[in-house]
A and B are shown apart, each in its own frame.
Chain A
Amino acid sequence: KQEVTQIPAALSVPEGENLVLNCSFTDSAIYNLQWFRQDPGKGLTSLLLIQSSQREQTSGRLNASLDKSSGRSTLYIAASQPGDSATYLCARGDRDDKIIFGKGTRLHILP
């Protein structure tokens, strides 16, 4: 059974700190790995997508890495801000467009 696990489930850090969110997945034959942000009661906003042939992607203060051999991805957030407070979801994608989500990490940035 394909699974996606995110650790920690919740995280609180002071504003300005750099932080790392972790995601692990079973079955290294993934097609892509996508990170999403979800604000309370809202839909999902795509942050970064890493193709299986890539090792990382960057967008502004965000950097996501992918290590298929170990079944891990990390999302690095630099210089965190209160506006970064949200739930971050990791999802593995297969070639047929179906994706499997982790339960997410609830991030709270303390002003």
Chain B
Amino acid sequence: ETGVTQSPTHLIKTRGQQVTLRCSSQSGHNTVSWYQQALGQGPQFIFQYYREEENGRGNFPPRFSGLQFPNYSSELNVNALELDDSALYLCASSTRTLYNEQFFGPGTRLTVL
């Protein structure tokens, strides 16, 4: 069974640029959630995708957008990058079964200069 993978591992961008982060969900999982974790903070929920549809969104502006593909992998896109977007971006997958256990990937470290 393959776990959750994310790419790239690290990324450096400048203000105003756009970035795309990728996540492959664990085998058999149909739900992907994205989180932003600033240094010293707990992860904050960005949005969730279930069967290719957005299924809930946290307190993030529209320049944060996403996609889920038929194989349940997902992308997080951030436009017009700001310095405060520097963070660890985590993706989690789950199956929406009785237990709803979330399995996390290793994260993508984004630095905005």
On whether the two chains bind one another, the answer is yes
Question: Using a Cβ–Cβ cut-off of 8 Å, how many residues does chain A contribute to the interface with B?
Answer: 26
Q: Are B33 and A97 in contact (CB under 8 A)?
A: yes
The stretch among B11-19, B39-47, B62-70, B73-81 that forms the contact with chain A is B39-47
The stretch among A14-22, A39-47, A64-72, A78-86 that forms the contact with chain B is A39-47
Q: Would you call B55 an interface residue if the criterion is a C-beta within 8 Å of the partner chain's C-beta atoms? A: yes
Complex CA–CA separation, A31 to B97 (angstroms): 12
The answer to whether A32 and B100 touch (CB under 8 A), given A42-B106, A97-B48, A98-B33, is yes
Contacts of A96 in B (CB 8 A): 48, 55-56
The answer to whether A98 and B56 touch (CB under 8 A), given A42-B107, A43-B106, A43-B107, is yes
**Which secondary structure characterizes the binding site on chain B?**
strand
Q: Are B42 and A97 in contact (CB under 8 A)?
A: no
Contact with B along A36-69 (1 / 0, CB 8 A): 1000011111100101000000000000000000
Contact with A along B51-67 (1 / 0, CB 8 A): 00001100000000000
Contact with A along B82-108 (1 / 0, CB 8 A): 000000101010101011111111110
* Contacts A/B (CB < 8 Å), 7 sampled: A32-B100, A45-B104, A49-B101, A51-B99, A95-B100, A99-B45, A102-B42
Given contacts A43-B90, A44-B43, A46-B103, 9 further A-B contacts (CB under 8 A): A42-B107, A49-B101, A51-B98, A51-B99, A91-B42, A96-B55, A97-B31, A101-B43, A103-B41
